[in-house]
Structure 1
Amino acid sequence: MERTTTRRTVLAGAAAAGAALALPIGPAASARAAEGDAAALRVRWHTLLTGGPGLDLADERIAAAVARTGRAATTAATGLDPTATDGLFPDLTSTTLSNHVTTSFKRLATAATAWAVPGTPQYGDTALRDLLLGGVDWMLTNRYGQAHTRFDNDWDWEIGAPLALNDTAVLLYDVLGADRLGRITDAVHHYTPDPNLWRADRQIATGANRVWVSTVAAVNAVLRDDGDALAGVRDALSDVEGAGANSVLAYNDTSAAAEGTGEGFYSDGSFLQHYKHPYSGGYGKELLNSLSRLLNLLAGTAWTVTDPDLDHVRGWVDEGFDPLMARGDVMASVCGREIARPSKQGHVSAQTVIEAVLRLIPGFPGETGDRFTSLVKQWIAEDTYRDFLAVTDLASLVAAQRVLASPVPARGPLLTHKQHPRMDKAAHHRPAFSLGVSAYSSRIYNYESIQNENLHGWHLSDGMVLLYTGDLGHYSEDYWPTVDATRLPGTTVTAGAPADAAGQRTTSTADWAGGTVLQGTTLGAYGMELRAYGSSLRALKSWFCLDDVIAYVGSGISADAGAVETVVENRKLADPAAPLLIDGVAAPTTTGWEASPEGVRWVHLAGTGGWVFPAGTALRALREERTATWREINLKYGTDTPVTRPYLTLWQDHGEAPEDAGYFYLQAPAASAARTQQWAAAPPLALVEGSTAVHAVRRLTDGLLAANFWTAGTAQELTADGPVSALVRPDGPTVKIALSDPTQLRSSVTVELTGTARTVARADPGVSVTPTATGVRITADTAGLHGATLDLTLNRS
C-alpha cells in the first residue's frame, strides 16, 4: 500500500473510491458518505457518537438511551465554570495529574453528545452551547496546546484528552468557528502529529496505543480536511514505515511482525501489551473497539484499509475474545490492571467487545457476518446480569436492534476447551459453568501494577482459577478490593501479604507452563511449574479439565521458610448464608465461623458446586465479612468508600517450610450435593501418578489418560522422553492422542505408547509413528509451535 504523495482533499479521495460500505449505525450516514467530502466523514463520526439522524424516539429502548444520554450530560456538566481560574471543574484542578485534563475533556464530550442528540433536554440548548464553547476555550488557554508543557502520563496528552476533544469538535463543529477549530486541530496535532509514534521521546507506537494514536490522527485529519494524513493513518495500521514490524493487523508470531515488540495479537488468539502482559480484556478490547471505529470511518474511501492481514480480525474475535467471555464477563486473568478500577466491573469490558463486533459485521459480509451476528446475539442474550441494550450507546443500540431482528439464530452456549499458549492462559467452557486458569512463565509477566493501580495483584498468575457459574455478578460488585488477595482460588502460596505492587512485571525462572487440547472436545491438560516471586516456594501444579470434572494435582511443594497453603476456593457469596456441607454435615452459616476438619472426603457449597478428596484431607474453612476500599488497590482511580462482602474460603495447609508436599482433589463446578456425594463414593477419575516427574489421571468411563510430564517418566502405558503434556483417549476402534511441549523450547517430543493401537489413521504434519515391541513410538516436531497441540489418531488392531 503506497502513501499518498500529494495533498488531496477528502472530497477527491472519497470520490475516487465510490460508495462507502454501509455503516452498522444507519444507512443515512453512508448515503451522505458516498458524496465524499469532509462533511460526509464528519457525519460518519457524528453518527458513531450520536446514533445518527432519524432516531425512533417512539421506540422504548431508543427513548431510554436518549434519556440516559441526557442524564449523563447533566452529571458531566455539573460544576462546569469557564470563568474559574484554577480549573474548569472544581474537582479537576490538578496541574500534576494528567488524568484531570483527560477527564475534563471527557465531561465536555459527554455534555456535547446530549446537546447533539434530538430528544434530550439539552438538545440544541444555546446556554449549554455557550458553556461548552467556553469550556473548550478554557482548556486550550489554560491546560492543553502548544503553550503548555505536558506532565504526568503521556497517554492523557496524546490519546485520552485528544480523543475526547476530537469528539467534542465533531459534535460542535457547526458552532465552533474557524478560529476555534484551528486552535483545536493545532493543539491535537501538536501532541499527536504522527500515527506511528507516541510519547514525548517519540517511541514507536504498538498494539492498542498505535490504534488509539491513529484514531486521534484520523479524526483530526477529517477536521483539517487533510487527505495525506488519512493516508498516513491507513498505512500506520500496517506499519508501512517500519516494513510491517509493528503492524496491528499482522499476527505477532508471523511475517515481519515477529521482529517487532511482540505487542498485539497472536495466531492462537493471545494478546499481549506492555511487552509480556496478557491483556485481551484491557488493551486488546480497546484495540478492537478503536479499530472498528476507524474501519467505519475509512470504509469505501481512498483510505480504505486493504491490507490482507485485516482478515485476521476474524481470528481475533473467534479465537481471542469468544473463549475469554463468560456470560457477559471477560475473564479477569486477561484484564490486567483494569480489574482494580471500579468503573470496569459489572461486565463493562464485555460491553466494549460487543460494541466493536457490532461495528465489524458490515465489513465482513457473508459467512463471517452471519457468524458474528450469531455470536453477538448469544453474548447479549446470555448476560442476564447486565442488559446490554440498557447500557450501550445510541449507535450500538441501533446496530444491536438490527442484529437481533435478523433471521440468523444465536450461536448457543460455547462448549470448548481453549488454551492460549502465547499468554499462559486456559479457558474451559461447559453448559453450566466456565473456568479459567491463569499461569505465567519465563515468557510472560505475572501481573501489572503501574500508575499506582492493581496494587494487590501478587498471585493473579500463580495458578489462579476463576470459576464462572450462574452467579453472573460474582467477580463484580466489589470482588477485587474485598477478596483476600493472598488466597486467590487455585493458587499455592506462602501465607502473608507482600508489599503493594511487589514483584509486578516479573517473569518466572521456569519454562513449563501450558498444556494440550483434544480438538473438538472439552478435554484438556494444563499445568505450570510455580517458582514464586520473593520466596523459595516451588510447586508443580496441574489442572486436568475433563468435561464436567476438573482434577487438581500438586507435587513438589517446598519452601525454605513460611507457611504454605493451596487455596481450594475463595468465593464471594451471593447468599451470605449459602449452605456448606462437609461430608454431608451442614456447617454453621454464621460470620466468623472457621474450622479445621480432618479426613474430609467431599464438600459442597450451594450455588457453586462440589469438591471431592478421594484420599481424604485436612481442610481449613472460614466464613467472613471482608471490608475494604477500592483505594487500597488503586490509588489513581479508587474510591474511599468502604465496601463489605461475605466470603467463604477453603484451603489446604501444607505447614511451615514444607518439603515435597502435594495434593489431589476433584472439582465438580455447578454440581448438586447429591452428585458430589455420588462422586465421592465412586470418583470418576483416578490418580495415576502425582510425583515430581509426572502428574497423570485416568477417567474411568472410557480409559482416557491425561498426563503432564515435568521430566522424562512413565505413567502406565505412556512413557515420555522429557517435558510433555499429553492426552490419550480410546475412541471405539481408534485411539486419539494429543501432544505438546509446554516449555516451548524443545525441537521435538517423543512418547512411547504400549497397547494394540499401531497403525496411523491420521496425523498432523510433523508427527511420525514407528512400531516397537510393545506398541508405538510417537515423535512430534514441536519446533516453532510455541506450545500448540499436535494430534494423532491410531487404529486399534
Structure 2
Amino acid sequence: MEITRRRLLSVLSAAGLVTVIPSHPASAAEIAAGRARLLANTVAVFAGTAESNARPETAAKLAAIDQAARTNLKSMDAAGAGELFADLMLGTDEANLNTAFRRLYETALATRTPGGASSDLYQNTTVQRRVIDGLVWLHERYYGDQSKGYYGNWFHWEIGLSQHIGKTLALLSDEVEAYRPGLVRTYVASMDAYLRNGIDGDVNLDSRFHTGANLADITTNRILQGALLGDDARIRKALTDQLTVFATIDPYHLNHGVTDGYYADGSFIQHASVAYTGSYGKGLLTRVVQTLKILDGTGFAHGEELVPTVRGWVKNGFAPLIFEGWMMEIVKGRAVARTDTGYTDVGVVVEAVVDLSSLASGADAIALKSYVKHIRSTSRTALDPAGFVSPVSIVRYADIIGDATIPAADLNPGSRSVAFNAMDKTVHRRPGYAFALARSSDRISKYEYMNGENLMPWFQGDGAYYLYLSGQDQTQAYGVDHFTTVSPYGLAGVTAPVERRHTIPELYGKPYYDNPGHPLNFTSSSASQNTYVYFPRGTNRHSGGAVLGAYGAAGMVQSDDVSYRDKGAGLLPDDFVVYRNATATKSWFLLDEEIVVLAAGVGDSAGRAVTTTVDARTAAPDDQVSVTGMLRDGRPWTGSGIGDLHWLRYANATQRTAVGYVFLDTPQVRVALDKVTRSRRAVRTSNPDIAVTRTVLGVTVDQAPGAEPIRLAYVLVPNAGEAGLRSYLRGPLKVLANTSRLQAVTHTGLGLTAANSFTRGRHETAGMRIEGPASVIVQRAGRSLTTVAVADPTMHRDTVSVLLRGASLREVSSDDGVRVSPVHGGTRLDFDTHHAYGRSFTVTLRG
C-alpha cells in the first residue's frame, strides 16, 4: 500500500515508523552485524562481487573502473608542489575540490573491485594508503578549515563532497581504521559542520535545501557515516528523515511546508515549483533504490514495505514520460541544455528499475522486468549497461534480457492520456506517437535557468509542446541540439512577443543577479534568486485539464511571470531586468489521430509584434525532408513563405516520419525550412564549443505591431498522409467555440465533445451548460450511454457543475464526489472538486 504523507506523519508521531523501522530492540551483536552488512552491501553495490564480476557482461565496466584509477594515479605521480593531482588547482573552485575527492573515490573503488582488468590494484594496500593520505592532505589544506570552506555552490559542500568522501571511507573502512584510526571521526565532524542548512550538523526538514532528491542524498551519506562510526542512532535518524521522501505530497497538508516530491497524479517537483522527474526525480529514484539495496538484510529497516511506493513512481511517474527509451523534455528543467541525451537519462532509470525488480516479488517483479525489456526493444539507441553504477545491476540486467520467459511489455497501456496537473504538464500517448505539453501557472515555474545552464528558457513553460514520432532517433528531433538550433522565441506551441531578450550572463556579467544589499538579498543561492531569476512562476492560476479514459483536454491562460509583476510593483531593484509576455488563452484537445489546438486573445497589450509557432521540427542536415500542402482555394502549395493554408504536410523520408497540420480557422501561415548552425554553448556556458547544424522547420503565424488580438484553430496530425489531410475538409472535427471565455471542439467520429471554460459564470455549448471555470469532456457511446469527465483547472473551486440538456439521465457509475440530479430540461452533475488538486472526476449515465 502506498504510504501517504498523512499516514506517514501519524506513524512518525505515534509509533516511530513501526512498519518500516523496527521498534523492537536488537542485541548488540545483531546491531554490529547489521552495520557490517551495511558496509559490505555498499562495497557490493559500487564494486560488485566476485560472482558478478566473473560474468563477461561486466568486463567493460570493470575496465572503466580500472582505467579511471590508473589515470588518477598517474595524475598524482605528476602532481607538482602544492598539488594532489596534476593541474588541478584547489582553494577557490569548489568544483575542482569535488573532482579531487571523486578521483580518490574512483581510485579506492578499483582496489575493492574483484575480477578487474588486472589484479595488481585489487586489495592493493599501498594504493589504498595513497588514497587515505590524499584524504588527509585535502582535509588539512582545503576542507578541514571551516572558515575557508563553503565557497561557491552549496550543493558541493553539503552533498557532493560528502558523497565521495563517505563512499571512499566505506570502501576502505578496514584499512582506514588500521592506518588512520581517527580519520573517520575527523571527516564526519567536518561533514556535519558543512551541513550549514541543517541544525547542529544534522538534517533540517524545514530547510528548502533539505528536500526531495537532495534530502535522499544527504541522508544516504549520513547512513554510511553512522555505519562507519558505529553510531546506530545516526543511522536510525537518517532513515527516519529519508522516509519522508517516500510520502506522497498532500498539497493541502504540507509537512514542513515542503512541496518537493511525488504527488498522487505522478508529478514530481523539486525546487518548490519545478517539474523535474527527468533530472532530480531520476536522482531520487536512483538514491532510494540504492539505499534499499544497502539496507538489505541489515535489520535497520524493512525495505520491502517501501517497494510498492517506488514501483508506483515508476508506473505512474516515469513510464508516461519515457517514449521509446527517451526521457521527455518537459520534465528536465535546466538539464535540457546538457549534452547528455534522453536515452542516457532513461539508462539511469532502467538501472533503478532492474534493481527494484530484484526487491519486488510476484507479478510486480515480472511487470518491472518486462518494462526493462520493453525499453530495450523500443529504444532507437542501444542501452549501454556499462554506464550503470553497479556491476551487480549489469548482471541483473543481462539476466532479465536473457530470460525468454519474461515478455517485453510497457507499463503504459497502448493509449494513455495523463494530466500531471500538480506540475502543469500533460502527456498523451498513442501507438505511433507521444505528445508532451509544458504548462505553467502561479504554482509551477515557467522554466528553470541556473549556473549558466539553459540560457534562453523564457517560453519553455508557455504551452511549448513536443511531438515524438515512433521509429525516429530522437537525438535528431529533440535534445540539446533542438534547443541550440530552434529559436527560443519559436518553440512549438509558443506565443511570444517579437523582441530581443538577453541571457543572465549577458545582463549581469555572471550567472546570477548579485545585489546582497537589497532588502530581498540577491545572492547566488538566495530565495529571491530562485523566485525571480532561476525558476520564476507565472501569475495566472488557470492551468489544468480533464482526462476521460485515454482522451484529454488541457487549458492555460498565458501570463507574465512574477518578476515582471513585482518590478511593476516597485519590489525589485532598478537595474533588475524584466520582460513582459504576450497574451493568449489556449486549449489542447487530445484525441486518437489528432491534437486540436485552440488559441484566443492572441496578441500584445503593449503593441509589440507577436509570433505564434504551430510547430518547429529539426532534422539532420542530410535528411530528405519535404513540405507539401493545399491552399484554402484548393490549389496545391509547396515551398516556403506565407500562404492561406488549409493543410500542410512535413515529411522526413530518411527517418520515415511525417506530421500533418490542418488549419481549421487560422490566419495566413508562414512556413520556413532553413539550415541553422549554432554552437551548443549558446544554451549552456559549460557545453563544448561545438557547432551543430540542423534543418529547421518553422510553421508560424505572425501579427504586426499594434494588431488586434487574433484566434487560431489548428490540428496536429502525427504520421499523416496527404489523403488523410484532405479528408478533414469533410470533418470529423468542428470548433464549437474559440474565445478567451470558452473553447470547445467536437469529434463526430468519436462521439466526443470537449470544452475548457476560463471565466466564472455559465457557458453554453453543444447541449450543455458549464459553470466555469472548468475542463469538461463528454463522450456518447451509441444512443444511451454518456460518460462525463470534469476537472477544476484553477485548483481553487469547491464545486463544478455541468447541466446536460435533454432527456433525464440516470447514473450508472461514478467517482466519489459526483452527484447526479434530474432537473427540468436535463440532468445536473455536481462535482466536489474541493482539495482535488486538478484531479478528474468521471460519471457514466444512461438514458
TM-score if structure 1 supplies the norm length? 0.88
The reply to whether residue 550 of structure 1 matches residue 598 of structure 2 is: no
Question: For residue 686 of structure 1, what is the aligned residue in structure 2?
Answer: 734
Q: Which runs of 5+ in 2 are unaligned?
A: 1-14, 505-531, 562-578, 631-635
Number of residue pairs the alignment of both structures matches: 755
Distance 1:714 1:72, change over 3 A: farther
Q: Which stretch shows the higher mean deviation, 289-298 or 479-488?
A: 479-488
Question: For residue 44 of structure 1, what is the aligned residue in structure 2?
Answer: 41
Question: For residue 481 of structure 2, what is the aligned residue in structure 1?
Answer: 478
CA contact (8 A) 2:325 2:376 kept: yes
CA contact (8 A) 1:73 1:114 kept: yes
In structure 2, C-alpha distance between the alignment counterparts of 1:597 and 1:781, rounded to whole Å = 47
Q: Which stretch shows the higher mean deviation, 677-686 or 463-472?
A: 677-686
Return the match for 1:720 from 770, 780, 797: 770
CA contact (8 A) 1:557 1:661 kept: yes
CA contact (8 A) 2:594 2:716 kept: yes
Return the match for 1:581 from 609, 619, 627: 627
Aligned to 1:100, what secondary structure does the other structure show?
helix
Distance 1:58 1:535, change over 3 A: closer
Letter matched to residue 168 of structure 2? T
CA contact (8 A) 1:196 1:210 kept: no
In structure 1, C-alpha distance between the alignment counterparts of 2:251 and 2:363, rounded to whole Å = 25
In structure 2, C-alpha distance between the alignment counterparts of 1:730 and 1:338, rounded to whole Å = 43
* Deviation, structure 1 residue 667: 0.5
Question: For residue 31 of structure 1, what is the aligned residue in structure 2?
Answer: none
Question: For residue 553 of structure 2, what is the aligned residue in structure 1?
Answer: 525
CA contact (8 A) 1:328 1:386 kept: no
Q: 1:318-329 residue pairs with structure 2 within 5 A?
A: 318-329=315-326
Distance 1:713 1:3, change over 3 A: closer
In structure 1, C-alpha distance between the alignment counterparts of 2:200 and 2:92, rounded to whole Å = 16
In structure 2, C-alpha distance between the alignment counterparts of 1:266 and 1:725, rounded to whole Å = 21
Question: For residue 349 of structure 1, what is the aligned residue in structure 2?
Answer: 345
* Deviation, structure 1 residue 674: 3.9
Distance 1:94 1:682, change over 3 A: farther
* Deviation, structure 1 residue 63: 2.4
* Deviation, structure 1 residue 508: 1.7
Distance 1:420 1:58, change over 3 A: closer
CA contact (8 A) 1:486 1:497 kept: no
Question: For residue 612 of structure 1, what is the aligned residue in structure 2?
Answer: 662
In structure 2, C-alpha distance between the alignment counterparts of 1:200 and 1:529, rounded to whole Å = 45
In structure 1, C-alpha distance between the alignment counterparts of 2:781 and 2:596, rounded to whole Å = 21
Distance 1:78 1:616, change over 3 A: farther
Question: For residue 820 of structure 2, what is the aligned residue in structure 1?
Answer: 769
The reply to whether residue 160 of structure 1 matches residue 165 of structure 2 is: no
Q: 1:595-744 residue pairs with structure 2 within 5 A?
A: 595-606=641-652, 607-615=657-665, 617-635=667-685, 637-675=686-724, 677-711=725-759, 712-732=762-782, 733-744=784-795
In structure 2, C-alpha distance between the alignment counterparts of 1:646 and 1:94, rounded to whole Å = 44
CA contact (8 A) 2:424 2:441 kept: yes
* Deviation, structure 1 residue 384: 2.8
Aligned to 1:792, what secondary structure does the other structure show?
strand
Return the match for 1:490 from 479, 493, 518: 493
* Deviation, structure 1 residue 143: 2.1
Aligned to 2:558, what secondary structure does the other structure show?
strand
1:590-644 deviations in whole A, cap 9, x for unaligned? xxxx522333422333224211113464222223333333433333x43333333
Return the match for 1:508 from 521, 538, 558: 538
CA contact (8 A) 2:792 2:838 kept: yes
CA contact (8 A) 2:267 2:277 kept: yes
Q: Which stretch shows the higher mean deviation, 184-193 or 346-355?
A: 184-193
1:465-493 deviations in whole A, cap 9, x for unaligned? 01222323232363333332221111111
Q: Which stretch shows the higher mean deviation, 497-506 or 290-299?
A: 497-506
Aligned to 2:240, what secondary structure does the other structure show?
helix
Letter matched to residue 618 of structure 1? Q
Question: For residue 27 of structure 1, what is the aligned residue in structure 2?
Answer: none
Return the match for 2:327 from 321, 325, 330: 330
In structure 2, C-alpha distance between the alignment counterparts of 1:580 and 1:525, rounded to whole Å = 31
Question: For residue 408 of structure 1, what is the aligned residue in structure 2?
Answer: 406
The reply to whether residue 758 of structure 1 matches residue 809 of structure 2 is: yes
RMSD: 3.0
Return the match for 2:227 from 216, 222, 244: 222
Return the match for 2:211 from 190, 206, 221: 206
1:367-389 deviations in whole A, cap 9, x for unaligned? 32222222222223322314243
Distance 1:37 1:316, change over 3 A: closer
Distance 1:100 1:674, change over 3 A: farther
In structure 1, C-alpha distance between the alignment counterparts of 2:625 and 2:464, rounded to whole Å = 24
CA contact (8 A) 2:52 2:392 kept: no
CA contact (8 A) 1:619 1:653 kept: yes
Aligned to 1:760, what secondary structure does the other structure show?
strand
In structure 1, C-alpha distance between the alignment counterparts of 2:393 and 2:181, rounded to whole Å = 28
TM-score if structure 2 supplies the norm length? 0.83
In structure 1, C-alpha distance between the alignment counterparts of 2:252 and 2:539, rounded to whole Å = 29
Letter matched to residue 550 of structure 1? I
In structure 1, C-alpha distance between the alignment counterparts of 2:192 and 2:17, rounded to whole Å = 19
Aligned to 1:36, what secondary structure does the other structure show?
helix
1:769-790 deviations in whole A, cap 9, x for unaligned? 2223332111111100011000
Question: For residue 190 of structure 1, what is the aligned residue in structure 2?
Answer: 190
1:440-468 deviations in whole A, cap 9, x for unaligned? 11111112222232221111100010122
Aligned to 2:447, what secondary structure does the other structure show?
coil
In structure 2, C-alpha distance between the alignment counterparts of 1:116 and 1:16, rounded to whole Å = 25
* Deviation, structure 1 residue 516: 0.4
Question: For residue 538 of structure 1, what is the aligned residue in structure 2?
Answer: 583
CA contact (8 A) 1:140 1:184 kept: no
In structure 2, C-alpha distance between the alignment counterparts of 1:305 and 1:58, rounded to whole Å = 30
Distance 1:87 1:725, change over 3 A: farther
CA contact (8 A) 1:564 1:657 kept: no
In structure 2, C-alpha distance between the alignment counterparts of 1:366 and 1:397, rounded to whole Å = 22
In structure 1, C-alpha distance between the alignment counterparts of 2:727 and 2:81, rounded to whole Å = 70
The reply to whether residue 339 of structure 1 matches residue 336 of structure 2 is: yes
Distance 1:506 1:177, change over 3 A: same
Letter matched to residue 749 of structure 2? T
Q: Which stretch shows the higher mean deviation, 317-326 or 777-786?
A: 317-326
1:538-580 deviations in whole A, cap 9, x for unaligned? 1011111102210011001121222211111221203544322
Aligned to 2:214, what secondary structure does the other structure show?
helix
In structure 2, C-alpha distance between the alignment counterparts of 1:657 and 1:570, rounded to whole Å = 25
Aligned to 1:448, what secondary structure does the other structure show?
coil
Aligned to 2:242, what secondary structure does the other structure show?
helix
Percentage of matched positions with identical amino acids: 28
* Deviation, structure 1 residue 284: 1.4
1:78-102 deviations in whole A, cap 9, x for unaligned? 6345843454344531533312222
Question: For residue 243 of structure 1, what is the aligned residue in structure 2?
Answer: none
Distance 1:345 1:653, change over 3 A: same
Question: For residue 571 of structure 1, what is the aligned residue in structure 2?
Answer: 617
Q: Which stretch shows the higher mean deviation, 637-646 or 71-80?
A: 71-80
Letter matched to residue 352 of structure 1? V
Distance 1:662 1:228, change over 3 A: same
Question: For residue 512 of structure 2, what is the aligned residue in structure 1?
Answer: none
In structure 1, C-alpha distance between the alignment counterparts of 2:196 and 2:844, rounded to whole Å = 47
* Deviation, structure 1 residue 360: 2.0
Q: 1:125-274 residue pairs with structure 2 within 5 A?
A: 125=121, 129=128, 132-146=131-145, 148-180=148-180, 182-192=182-192, 198=198, 203=204, 204=207, 205-238=210-243, 247-253=244-250, 257-258=254-255, 260-274=257-271
Aligned to 2:98, what secondary structure does the other structure show?
helix
Distance 1:84 1:479, change over 3 A: farther
Q: Which runs of 5+ in 1 are unaligned?
A: 18-34, 239-246, 589-593
